[in-house]
Structure 1
Amino acid sequence: MSYPKPFPLAAPTKGPQQPTFAPDLSVRLICPDCRDPNPNIIEEFGRGDLVCGQCGLVLGDRIVDTRSEWRTFANDEGDDPSRVGAASDPLMEGMEQLDTVIGFKDGGSGIARELQRAASRSQNTRSERNLLSAFRDISTWCDQFSLPKTISDIAKQLYKRSDEEKLLRGKPLDAVIAACIFIACRQAHVPRTFREICNLTHVSKKVLGQCYKALEQAFNLTPGAAAARPGSGVSAVVTGPEDLLIRYCNHLALPANMQAICKDIIVAAREHGIADGRSPVSIAGGAIYFACHLLGHSKPVKDISSVAGVSEGTIKLVYRLYYAEREKLVKKEWIKDGKASLERLPVEQSSK
C-alpha cells in the first residue's frame, strides 16, 4: 500500500526553471592553521568540541553526542541501541506510546489526583483509551486461560481491525473480545470450544455466536474457504476433533499412544461416514471413550464428559455409532500386536 507523501510536488510551470539547491558534497572541513588536505579532526564528546588532532585548534563547539547513553556488553555482531526507551508496539501505531505516571505522594493535599485526571484527559483520546482497555482485557483473559502470547497478539490485531472497520458496533465489549480470542485460538491451532470461551468470559453463547458470525463474514472465515479476503490478514482455519484430542488426553492422564489411536479411529470414521454431522467435541469424546475400552484403559464416562464439556449421553451415542461399525474402525495390526481387543468393548444400550 502506497502512502501519500507529506509534501506533494507542485505542478510544472512553463518558463525558466528555478535553480535547485542541494548540499555541496565536495566541501571538506580542514584546519585553517594546518591546511592539511587529509585533516585529522577529532570529536571530543566529553567537552562537546571539534578539535584538530595535529595543532589542537578548536574548530567547533556544542556538538551533539550521537552515541549510546549506556555501556554495551554486546559482541561485535550484536546490536548496540543508541537511544533509550522501550520497544515500539506495532499495535499502537499512530498513538502516543510514552506514558507519564503521576505519583500518589502529595502530602495529603489532593494535587496528585487532580494531576492524574488531567494527564488521563490530555494523553489519549476516548477511542485510544477504549482500545488500551480492550487490550488489557485480552491479555488478562489469555493469561487466565493459559494461552500463549501469540494468541493474545492475534486477538489484539483482530480487535483493532474490527474496531477500525466498525464491524461490531453496538455489541458488548466482552462479547467482541471473546469472539476475537476464539478466532485467535483457531488461527494459532490451539482451538477452544464455545463453551470454554463462554465460561472464561461469562458471555452468553448466543451473543458470542452473533459476534463470531459477523467477523466470519467480514474476514471470510467460512469453513472450506480457500483464502481470506485480500488484505484482511486472516485465513480460514477449521477446527476438527483431532485438534482437541491432545488436550483431552492430557487432562485424562492417558498414555501417549492413546492420542494416535484415537486420531486413526476418527479418520477412519470420517472416511466411512460414521457419526457425520456431530460436533467435533462430541466426536473427540466418543473416540476417547471407544479407544479406552478398546485398549483396556477404562475411564469413566463421567470424567470424559467433564473434560470435553458435553453430556454423558452424547458421548455414549457416538460410542454406539462406533461400536456398530467397529470392524471398519479397528485395524488388524492392533489386534495382532495385542494392543486392542474387540471383546473389551461393552455393548451400550440406548436410553429411551
Structure 2
Amino acid sequence: MSDTTIRTTETEQTGNRETTESTTERESTSEQVCPECGGNLVTDSEHGETVCRECGLVVEENEIDRGPEWRAFNSSEKDEKSRVGSPTTNMMHDKGLSTNIGWQDKDAYGRSLSSSQRQKMQRLRTWNERFRTRNSKERNLKQALGEIDRMASALGLPETVRETASVIYRRALDEDLLPGRSIEGVATASLYAAARQSGNPRSIDEMIAVSRVDDMEMTRTYRYIIRELNLEIKPADPESYVPRFVSDLDLSDEVERGARELLEDGRQAGLLSGKSPVGLAAAAVYAAALLANEKVTQSQVSDVASISEVTIRNRYKELLEAKQVSA
C-alpha cells in the first residue's frame, strides 16, 4: 500500500471521528435546550423537576431523588448517618463486620467447582472460621448468640428482642458473670429478660420447652443476671399475653376486648397481685370466649398457655365474680 493511500485512509478515519464527536455534542446540547424557546434547562432537585431558565417550561417532573434522605451539618454527622456497607448488629459475635464464605461449591455463574477448587475453598472456610473466632471469649459469644437466635426463632420473638438479648449477654460476659454457669443458661436468661423488657413476655415453661437447661437453672441464672446488671424489669402484665393466646386459638376481636375488660375488673378488685400472669391471661381469654358464645375448651386454652386446666378453672371463676361486683 502506497503512502498516498495510507494518508487518505487516516484522513477519512479522522473525519469520521470528528463527525461522530460533533453529532454527540449536538445531541447532548439538544438535551439541555428548551424545546419551546431554546433556553437553558436547569434541574430543580428540591421539587424533582427540570425547567427552562428563560420561559419556565417544565420539561420533566417527578424525577427520582438519588440523594440521601437524611441531612448532615458537619463531617461527624455525615460519618454517623452514612450507610455504606452492611449494618452492624449485636446478634453476631463480630457484629457482622467479617467476611463470610458461602457453603455452596459453585462459582459466580452457578457452575460446580472442580475437586481441587473445592478442597481449596474448604481450606479457606476453615481458616476464615479460625480467624473469626480468635480467642475463647469470641467462641463463647458465637455459641451463645447462635443459641439466642435459635430460641427466639422457635418462640416467634421479633428482631428487637434478639438484639436486646444479645446486648444483655455481652454485658454479662464483659462483667465476668459466666464462670460457674452454662452458656445455654445465661443465654436463656438473657432472652427471657429481653422479652419481658420489650413487652413480648414468654412464660418460663415456654422458655424451657425450647431451651437446653431446666427451669431451676434458668430461674436461678435469671435472678443472678438482673441483680448483677441492675436490670429494671417490671412484673409481667397479663394483658400482654392476651393477643397471642387469642390469635393461637383463632378467636375474634370481641373475645380479646372482653378478656382485657375482665383483667381490668380483676385489677380493680385486687385479684392480680400474687398470681401468675399467664394463668390470669388464659382464664380471661376462656371466660371472654364463654361470654361471647365462641366455642373453646379449657384443654385448648391449657395447651396454648402451657398451664393446667385447674388453674384456668380457678382463675376464670374469680374474674367472673369480680366482673359481677364491678357491674
**TM-score in terms of structure 2 length:** 0.65
Q: Which residue of 1 aligns with 2:140?
A: 130
Q: Which runs of structure 2 are paired with 1:152-191 in the superposition (5 Å)?
A: 152-191=162-201
Match of 2:251 among 231, 249, 254: 254
Secondary structure of 1:237's partner?
Answer: coil
The Cα shift of 1:216 comes to 1.6
Asked if 1:297 is matched to 2:306, the reply is: no
Q: Which runs of structure 2 are paired with 1:220-239 in the superposition (5 Å)?
A: 220-221=230-231, 235-239=232-236
Q: How far apart, in 1, do the equivalents of 2:322 and 2:85 lie?
A: 64
Q: Which residue of 2 aligns with 1:86?
A: 86
CA distance 1:293–1:113, shift in 2 (3 Å):
closer
The Cα shift of 1:193 comes to 0.7
Q: Which residue of 1 aligns with 2:129?
A: 120
Secondary structure of 2:115's partner?
Answer: coil
Secondary structure of 2:307's partner?
Answer: coil
Q: Which residue of 1 aligns with 2:115?
A: 107
Asked if 1:143 is matched to 2:153, the reply is: yes
Q: Which residue of 1 aligns with 2:66?
A: 75
Q: How far apart, in 1, do the equivalents of 2:178 and 2:146 lie?
A: 19
Q: How far apart, in 2, do the equivalents of 1:78 and 1:180 lie?
A: 36
Q: Aligned residues, how many?
A: 245
Q: Which stretches in structure 2 are left out of the alignment for 5+ residues?
A: 1-63, 71-77, 106-112
CA distance 1:298–1:138, shift in 2 (3 Å):
same
Q: How far apart, in 2, do the equivalents of 1:150 and 1:326 lie?
A: 36
CA distance 1:181–1:94, shift in 2 (3 Å):
closer
Q: How far apart, in 1, do the equivalents of 2:259 and 2:251 lie?
A: 11
Q: How far apart, in 1, do the equivalents of 2:164 and 2:120 lie?
A: 40
The Cα shift of 1:116 comes to 4.1
Greater relative CO, 1 or 2 (CA 8 Å, sep 6+): 2
Q: Is the 8 A contact 1:168 1:214 kept in 2?
A: no
CA distance 1:298–1:100, shift in 2 (3 Å):
closer
Asked if 1:307 is matched to 2:304, the reply is: yes
**TM-score in terms of structure 1 length:** 0.60
Q: Is the 8 A contact 1:178 1:197 kept in 2?
A: yes
Q: Which residue of 2 aligns with 1:216?
A: 226
Q: Which amino acid aligns with 2:98?
A: L
Q: How far apart, in 2, do the equivalents of 1:132 and 1:321 lie?
A: 47
Q: How far apart, in 2, do the equivalents of 1:156 and 1:202 lie?
A: 18
Q: How far apart, in 2, do the equivalents of 1:95 and 1:122 lie?
A: 14
Match of 1:319 among 316, 319, 322: 316
Deviates more, 1:193-202 or 1:140-149: 140-149
Asked if 1:280 is matched to 2:277, the reply is: yes
The Cα shift of 1:89 comes to 4.0
Q: Which residue of 2 aligns with 1:67?
A: none
The Cα shift of 1:321 comes to 2.7
Q: Which amino acid aligns with 1:249?
A: V
Q: Is the 8 A contact 2:98 2:132 kept in 1?
A: no
Secondary structure of 1:190's partner?
Answer: coil
CA distance 1:208–1:86, shift in 2 (3 Å):
same
Q: Is the 8 A contact 1:242 1:266 kept in 2?
A: yes
Q: How far apart, in 1, do the equivalents of 2:96 and 2:152 lie?
A: 25
- Higher relative helix content: 2
Q: Is the 8 A contact 1:168 1:176 kept in 2?
A: yes
Q: How far apart, in 1, do the equivalents of 2:84 and 2:270 lie?
A: 61
Q: How far apart, in 2, do the equivalents of 1:160 and 1:107 lie?
A: 41
The Cα shift of 1:134 comes to 2.2
Q: Which amino acid aligns with 2:129?
A: S
The Cα shift of 1:308 comes to 1.2
Q: Which stretches in structure 1 are left out of the alignment for 5+ residues?
A: 1-72, 222-234, 332-352
Q: Which amino acid aligns with 1:296?
A: N
Q: Which residue of 2 aligns with 1:196?
A: 206
Secondary structure of 2:241's partner?
Answer: helix
The Cα shift of 1:297 comes to 2.4
The Cα shift of 1:277 comes to 2.2
Q: Which amino acid aligns with 2:241?
A: L
